Amino acid sequence: MASIVLIGAGSASFSLALLKDLILTKSLWGSRVTLVDIDAERLAIAEGLATRYCDAFKADISFAATVDRKNGLEGADFVICAVKVGGYDPLEAERKIAEEHGYYRGIGDRVSCYYGGVGAYHQLKFLMDLAADMERICPNALLIQTANPVFEGTNIVTRHTKVKAVGVCHGHFGYQVVAETLGLNVADVRFQIVGFNHFTWLTHFRYKGQDAYPLIDRWIEEQSEKVWSSGEFPEGMSPGAVDTYRMYGLFPIGDAVRCAGPWWHHTDQKAKERWYGNSGLFFRKDAPGGFDCELQWNRYLQDKVVLHQELVQLAKQPTAALIEKHPLQSSGEQHISIVDAMVNDKETILELNVPNDGCLGGVPDDVLVEIPVVVSGRGIQGLRVGRLPASVMNHSMLPRLIRLENILNAYMNRDRKTLVLMLMDDPRTRSFEQAKRLIDTLLAQPWNAGAAAHYR
Amino acid sequence: MASIVLIGAGSASFSLALLKDLILTKSLWGSRVTLVDIDAERLAIAEGLATRYCDAFKADISFAATVDRKNGLEGADFVICAVKVGGYDPLEAERKIAEEHGYYRGIGDRVSCYYGGVGAYHQLKFLMDLAADMERICPNALLIQTANPVFEGTNIVTRHTKVKAVGVCHGHFGYQVVAETLGLNVADVRFQIVGFNHFTWLTHFRYKGQDAYPLIDRWIEEQSEKVWSSGEFPEGMSPGAVDTYRMYGLFPIGDAVRCAGPWWHHTDQKAKERWYGNSGLFFRKDAPGGFDCELQWNRYLQDKVVLHQELVQLAKQPTAALIEKHPLQSSGEQHISIVDAMVNDKETILELNVPNDGCLGGVPDDVLVEIPVVVSGRGIQGLRVGRLPASVMNHSMLPRLIRLENILNAYMNRDRKTLVLMLMDDPRTRSFEQAKRLIDTLLAQPWNAGAAAHYR
């Protein structure tokens, strides 16, 4: 069957999630999975858990594990990348430094800079290095790129290397949150979601064959105030989501609720509470301000640590305990569906990030768009989705497009100046000196030595 | 020959300037010029001056004058529009209101909002009304559109009407200022200037067959500090122009020196003095801060009044006095050159604003670009100029493109919200409420009653 390489497999929870999907996809049994991570200890734990989990279900999937990426890539058909270079501590330290310079919760986009650090450097460098390896070792493999920033990280590969790559996220499933809040049966909902990663918009929303947008409008008119004052509502139907919808004309979905809306939803904790209230992505509701706020984000990071520690403990316990805690069920991720659709030539409609090539009007061909695609033995084919409304394009998408171009150009041309100029577009910047000082300070941190040498 | 209609002919100085070009272009003698203005008194003065001036040179050009635009358009081949609706007083009043709301020197782009008022409404409305008349009365005529904002004003016509239109400016002649400052003989300079109107960049600069950009670099290195400290330098070679060149990688030309550079060159009078010093477009050098600063701009408006009053006086004096004060020489404008090239099929290279249609890479086809074109009996044909550097595109051009799209969409969709959202991109805006209050206040002014009804 397929040879699948998982880069960043030391995240045992992510490895386990994909493994479950693989076990549930019998048409892919016989496949070989190679787990790759630079952390031998974490890798050994992930491999042990995966092997035991697989054996328990008698799934015909073989495993290998290696800390040598080049070795792992030999003969790969699919390379799934879920790497977060350097962990989260440097990012949190950069955020603190930025706050001292007047930038509440740090600089830049609420994803690209959070994950890649200043200029998204660490993630971009990793992906370009990985792509260079793939070009040599497995030039026909597909890179299934799920590491943030998915937008810049995947687009730099599709634009500047010969590697075939597709970006994968799960944010579009946020349409279910909208449907559930309206009291709809999700199985009867049809939708189309279009945009850039984390800048995704509900262009079509149909329920039992009818346009369901009027149901959203009615909910806003008749129920929103009551629901919001109760404090119990999902981020996807928060005042921030509805305000963005009213301003731009389409409902934002998933991370777009926070990422694609206007800057003034995020100026301080008070604003975040006003627009996101007690809502969160999947969090305890006693941390108002939405997923990006200090409390929720820090809990998210803590939860990651706790989850991994639990898995470390489970690795020492009988398999039954592991399965009880982590029952075999679909992860809801799309990675394995892509592999299945391509290997077994099953025409499958997914929501993926691919070079535009004319699918979304008004966006250049070489820009990565998140759109519905058909995946099959023929490959990945985007659906032509027409144009987004002018308001969405001009107020949200095009500014984000400029940010993409700046991040990629800064990286490719090693241009520190562009990092400063990007920060000049931040509404909190008061002077060129302020922006330059912060960029220089960030690049002077010990973990950024490589970045400092890169951005000349 | 040609039937040329001049809309806004009550500006006697502009009418006289075009007339001189026409007299100097013998191949267009036999043409008929129709002067149109809503101000009968100003129109009569312009007509009298034009007729006498023409007679003095025995030029075979016939004149008509009318306050009835529809009447004037009958049989037109070329319609030159130089209208400033409502004069400048409302703009200055809007600027003062904006300053009370925290926006030094007013809101928006340093051209589109200065000339059209909030949303550029008055100019856009005039041009759309004019185009509607032209569609009916003279559907084959070419609109030679020179009224600011040239970018939005011409683009709304090319995109949303059937009228053929071309935008005309003289800003590109700013390359001569660069050449002269370097001590070059302008006649030996070849250049290419590319961009949007007032966002124009020197993509090629050659002197006697050699790349002359190194001469700019050497001037910056060896002479700029000395020249700047003398206080005697043109705006086109000011610290602001050089800073923009250093940041974006191409030299800004003409109005681009102020319009296409970064916002922090304009935050206050002190900043303006730092970046533009005593320089100005064509002004006394005792008003530091560049053409947009309070002193220079007010003088510009005063000078307009004075110039007109002088012409009113000259209208009562012998023709010899008129000619002595306004000798027959080329205006340096391109309007009549367009007419001559088309009517007499003379292939002429000009710098005009035309729908892109693939000439400038990375810009949609239906966006107006300022590029070199060949004008002839075949019409106006743009030169393919390739791409601008990423820095210029991402830091200056694309943000301006978004602004164009917002202004046109706000007008076409009657969308007040977009006017507010545009203002949210202003680095001086602190809250949505601040922006909304200012837009509502501006639209509540008596001269904006039509605009207030339009933007719902």
Answer whether B424 sits within 8 Å of A263, measured CB to CB. yes
The alpha carbon of B387 is separated from its chain's Cα centroid by a whole number of angstroms, namely 23
Strands B199-207 and B251-253: antiparallel
Q: Report the 10 Å Cβ neighbour count for B226.
A: 8
Chain B residues with CB under 8 Å of A409 CB are 390-391, 394
Amino acid at B389: P
**Helix/strand/coil for B420:** helix
Using an 8 Å Cβ cutoff, are B74 and B4 in contact?
A: no
Q: Which two tokens stand for residue A120?
A: 């998204």
Q: What pairs with residue A143 in β-bridges?
A: A79, A165
Answer whether A401 sits within 8 Å of B398, measured CB to CB. yes
**Predicted structure pTM score:** 0.93
Instruction: Give dist(CA A421, CA A164) in Å, integer.
Output: 31
Instruction: Give dist(CA A392, CA A246) in Å, integer.
Output: 11
Q: What pairs with residue A371 in β-bridges?
A: A352
CA distances from A48 to A13, A55, A162, A319 (A): 13, 11, 34, 10
Answer whether B424 sits within 8 Å of A264, measured CB to CB. yes
Q: Which two tokens stand for residue B164?
A: 């053929």
Provide the CATH topology of domain A3-168.
Rossmann fold (3.40.50)
Amino acid B1: pLDDT = 87
Q: What pairs with residue B196 in β-bridges?
A: B199
Amino acid A282: pLDDT = 64
Q: Report the 10 Å Cβ neighbour count for A382.
A: 18
Chain A residues with CB under 8 Å of B432 CB are 262, 264
Q: Report the 10 Å Cβ neighbour count for B86.
A: 15
Using an 8 Å Cβ cutoff, are B344 and B319 in contact?
A: no
- DSSP E strands in B19-163: the ranges are 32-36, 62-66, 78-81, 142-145
Chain B residues with CB under 8 Å of A417 CB are 247, 391
Using an 8 Å Cβ cutoff, are B173 and B254 in contact?
A: yes
Q: B382, B335, B348, B356: which is closest to B144 by C-alpha?
A: B335
Chain B residues with CB under 8 Å of A413 CB are 390
**Helix/strand/coil for A428:** coil
Q: Which pLDDT tens digit goes with each residue over B89-146?
A: 999 999 999 999 999 999 987 666 677 789 999 999 999 999 999 999 999 999 999 9
Distance from the Cα of A269 to chain B's closest Cα (Å) equals 15
The stretches of A138-278 forming alpha helices (DSSP H) are 150-160, 175-181, 213-222, 224-230, 239-248, 256-259, 269-276
Instruction: Give dist(CA B446, CA B432) in Å, integer.
Output: 24
Q: Which pLDDT tens digit goes with each residue over B444-456?
A: 999 999 999 999 9
Amino acid A219: pLDDT = 98
Q: What is the pLDDT along chain A (456 residues), one digit of tens a residue?
A: 899 999 999 999 999 999 999 999 999 999 999 999 999 999 999 999 999 999 999 999 999 999 999 999 999 999 999 999 999 999 999 999 999 999 999 998 766 667 778 999 999 999 999 999 999 999 999 999 999 999 999 999 999 999 999 999 999 999 999 999 999 999 999 999 999 999 999 999 999 999 999 999 999 999 999 999 988 899 999 999 999 999 999 999 999 999 999 999 999 999 999 999 988 776 667 788 999 899 899 999 999 999 999 999 999 999 999 999 999 999 999 999 999 999 999 999 999 999 999 999 999 999 999 999 999 999 999 999 999 999 999 999 999 999 999 999 999 999 999 999 999 999 999 999 999 999 999 999 999 999 999 999
Instruction: Give dist(CA B420, CA B423) in Å, integer.
Output: 5
Q: Which two tokens stand for residue B19?
A: 């007339």
Q: A80, A83, A67: which is closest to A18 by C-alpha?
A: A80
Q: Is A73 exposed, middle or buried (0-12, 13-18, 19+ CB in 10 A)?
A: buried
ipTM of this model? 0.89
The number of C-beta contacts closer than 8 angstroms across A and B is 69
Instruction: Give dist(CA B279, CA B296) in Å, integer.
Output: 10
- DSSP E strands in A338-383: the ranges are 348-355, 368-376, 379-382
Pick from B391, B421, B427: which is nearest to A247 by CB?
Answer: B421
Using an 8 Å Cβ cutoff, are B118 and B448 in contact?
A: yes
Answer whether A421 sits within 8 Å of B390, measured CB to CB. no
The stretches of A31-120 forming alpha helices (DSSP H) are 40-56, 69-73, 89-100, 112-116
Instruction: Give dist(CA A348, CA B206) in Å, integer.
Output: 57
Please give the backbone phi and psi of residue A386, each rounded to the nearest 5 degrees, phi first.
75, -145
Q: Is A226 exposed, middle or buried (0-12, 13-18, 19+ CB in 10 A)?
A: exposed
The alpha carbon of B174 is separated from its chain's Cα centroid by a whole number of angstroms, namely 13
Using an 8 Å Cβ cutoff, are B337 and B348 in contact?
A: yes
What residue has token string 């301006």?
B400
Residue A383 neighbours by CB under 8 Å, 6+ apart: A359, A371, A372, A373, A374
Using an 8 Å Cβ cutoff, are B442 and B98 in contact?
A: yes
Q: A302, A263, A257, A301: which is closest to A280 by C-alpha?
A: A257
Is A426 a catalytic site residue?
Answer: no
Selected residue of A402, A408, A430 to mutate for chain B interface (largest B Cβ count, 10 A):
A402
Selected residue of B394, B404, B420, B424 to mutate for chain A interface (largest A Cβ count, 10 A):
B394
Amino acid at A42: R
DSSP A129-166: HHHHHHHHH-TT-EEEE-SSSHHHHHHHHHHHSS-EEE
CA distances from B198 to A81, B148, B193, B258, B373 (A): 45, 10, 11, 9, 17
Amino acid B117: pLDDT = 84
Using the 8-state DSSP alphabet, how is residue A358 labeled? Answer: T
Please give the backbone phi and psi of residue B199, each rounded to the nearest 5 degrees, phi first.
-130, 60
Q: What distance, in Å, lies between the first and last C-alpha atoms of chain B?
A: 46
Task: Give me the residue spans of the domains in chain B.
Answer: 3-168, 172-292
Chain A residues with CB under 8 Å of B421 CB are 247, 262, 391, 395
Q: Which two tokens stand for residue B105?
A: 């020197």
Pick from A247, A391, A398: which is nearest to B398 by CB?
Answer: A398
Residue B212 neighbours by CB under 8 Å, 6+ apart: B179, B182, B184, B189, B205, B206
Chain B residues with CB under 8 Å of A390 CB are 405, 409, 413
DSSP B69-102: HHHHHTT-SEEEE---TT-SHHHHHHHHHHHHTT
Q: Which of A39, A133, A160, A170 is catalytic?
A: A170
Q: Which of A255, A265, A335, A454 is catalytic?
A: A255
Selected residue of A244, A250, A264 to mutate for chain B interface (largest B Cβ count, 10 A):
A264
The stretches of A277-429 forming alpha helices (DSSP H) are 294-314, 319-325, 335-343, 390-392, 398-412, 416-424
Q: How many helices (H) and strands (E) does chain A have?
A: 21, 13
Contacts 24+ apart (CB under 8 A), B348-351: B348/B374, B348/B375, B348/B376, B349/B373, B349/B374, B349/B375, B350/B375, B351/B172, B351/B193
Is B255 a catalytic site residue?
Answer: yes
Q: Which pLDDT tens digit goes with each residue over B29-78?
A: 999 999 999 999 999 999 999 999 999 999 999 999 999 999 999 999 99
Amino acid at B111: V
Amino acid A117: pLDDT = 84
Using an 8 Å Cβ cutoff, are A257 and A240 in contact?
A: yes
> Element (H or E) spanning B202, and its range?
strand B199-207
Amino acid at B211: D
Q: A333, A331, A368: which is closest to A350 by C-alpha?
A: A333
What residue has token string 């990375």?
B362
Instruction: Give dist(CA A374, CA A382) in Å, integer.
Output: 6
Q: Which pLDDT tens digit goes with each residue over B246-298?
A: 999 999 999 999 999 999 999 999 999 999 998 877 666 678 899 989 989 99
Chain B residues with CB under 8 Å of A393 CB are 405
Amino acid B282: pLDDT = 64
Pick from B264, B364, B395: which is nearest to A362 by CB?
Answer: B364
Q: Which of B133, B160, B170, B426 is catalytic?
A: B170
Amino acid A166: pLDDT = 98
Using the 8-state DSSP alphabet, how is residue B395 labeled? Answer: I
Answer whether A390 sits within 8 Å of B409, measured CB to CB. yes
Mean pLDDT over all residues of chain B?
95
Q: Which two tokens stand for residue A413?
A: 């041309």
Answer whether A394 sits within 8 Å of B413, measured CB to CB. no
